[in-house]
Amino acid sequence: GIQVEQSPPDLILQEGANSTLRCNFSDSVNNLQWFHQNPWGQLINLFYIPSGTKQNGRLSATTVATERYSLLYISSSQTTDSGVYFCAVEPWGGADGLTFGKGTHLIIQP
């Protein structure tokens, strides 16, 4: 099956810093999503971005489908940004749900 690798696995930053999270995938995809899992386990949809660039406030994401990677940018980090960020993909031609990466555990310190 498709492989999804996220980096870095852990990231500790000071409030106000910027960060870039990366997601590499091993095959063509027709769906790629970024999620933030809060401390209660809820998965919050950040971006549905199988290709191109999107922005939502301090967050933006870019997927380069031909090179099989996606980037999530967080600017001016706040302590509430802490948590685990997951990238998840669905292989091209499949309707079989999402395959998740192992996530990036982000800690924003005040």
Partner 1 sequence: GAVVSQHPSRVICKSGTSVKIECRSLDFQATTMFWYRQFPKQSLMLMATSNEGSKATYEQGVEKDKFLINHASLTLSTLTVTSAHPEDSSFYICSAPTSGRGTGELFFGEGSRLTVL
- Which residues make up the interface to partner 1 (CB under 8 A)? 30-31, 33, 35, 40-43, 45, 48, 86, 88, 90, 94-103
Cβ-based nearer residue to partner 1, 17 or 26: 26
3-class SS of residue 106: strand
Cβ-based nearer residue to partner 1, 5 or 17: 5
Q: How far is the CB of 31 from partner 1 (least distance, A)?
A: 6
**Which pair of tokens denotes residue 21?**
């999270």
Burial (0-12, 13-18, 19+ Cβ within 10 Å), 49 = buried
Q: How far is the CB of 18 from partner 1 (least distance, A)?
A: 25
Residue whose token pair is 């999804």: 4
Cβ-based nearer residue to partner 1, 17 or 60: 60
Q: How far is the CB of 90 from partner 1 (least distance, A)?
A: 6
Q: Measured at the alpha carbon of residue 81, what is the angle toward residues 75 and 83, in degrees to the nearest 5? A: 130
Amino acid type, 27 = D
